[in-house]
Amino acid sequence: MPTVDFGTVRAFVDDTRIDVFFPRGYDGVKNALKEMKGRWNPERRCWSVNPKFARMDADQVLGRIGDVLLRNAPDNWERAVSRFGGFACASRKYEIRVGLGGIRIRIPDGHPSHYVLKQVQGGQKEGEAWLIPSMSASSPTIGAVLERVVSEDMDCFISYVEHLEGRTIRGTVPVQPGEADALGLVPDRIAYADHAFLKVADPQVKNGPVHAWPFRVMSREDGEEGVEVRLAYLPPENAYKAVRHRQAQPEERRLPLLDLTHATGKWVYKRL
């Protein structure tokens, strides 16, 4: 189900329904959904809209939600979203999402910033995440929290990949050339793997709270049993930027990860 992320408001879209999740106090969004024949969905604990009943298509429904959020946002907020809306964290310990509704910030339990965010006007806690409305998002307090989260996210990610620089792995991925292309297994491009793949292909790599391990594809040879590839770990700063770039994409557009099904056969690893 594709997700449209407005920061503090999220819409999950399928063929017949749009489920919209938002915190308390977003009366403008709720009223707009009611006008579009939306109904409270007690099973999903969200508001649901059928575009057919609203006599609109999905893009029009989503556009209406965005318009309502923007009308309640401070001046220049749309420009701020255009600038920072593509930011993403590389580790799973943290999350920052900037959208028309405001900012979603996820930090671990016990983090000192929980106390700081508790003082922000209009802020609401949802699990490990804080939902900060756009009217409060430009405060110096939020700026300081964001700087800390970005720094800690980078430090966390790099701590799990920095020792891998200069290391390569080589093996056969059991896919046809077209699927290999879709996985990013094209020379000089970036491909991504999860830890299940690495447990077989490079078992010395320690698991950690990172979204993916990126590689530079050094070579590829197509064969009857699949594609033989040589993959090189990226320098830590480049790896961080690559994973952030992948995470910033809508989920349905992200490059797929190499997983356990791609790690069959013999793999060898060595230093460059």
pLDDT of residue 7: 95
| Predicted TM-score of the model (pTM) | 0.90
Q: Give per-residue pLDDT as tens, 222-238.
A: 999 999 999 999 999 99
* pLDDT for residue 1 is more than 70: no
* pLDDT for residue 272 is more than 90: no
* pLDDT for residue 221 is more than 80: yes
Q: Are 105 and 130 in contact (CB under 8 A)?
A: yes
Q: Are 31 and 18 in contact (CB under 8 A)?
A: no
Mean pLDDT of 36-45: 95
Mean pLDDT of 153-168: 97
As a whole number, the mean pLDDT across the chain is 95
Mean pLDDT of 51-58: 94
Range with lowest mean pLDDT among 65-69, 126-130, 156-160, 239-243: 126-130
Q: Give per-residue pLDDT as tens, 170-189.
A: 999 999 999 999 999 999 99
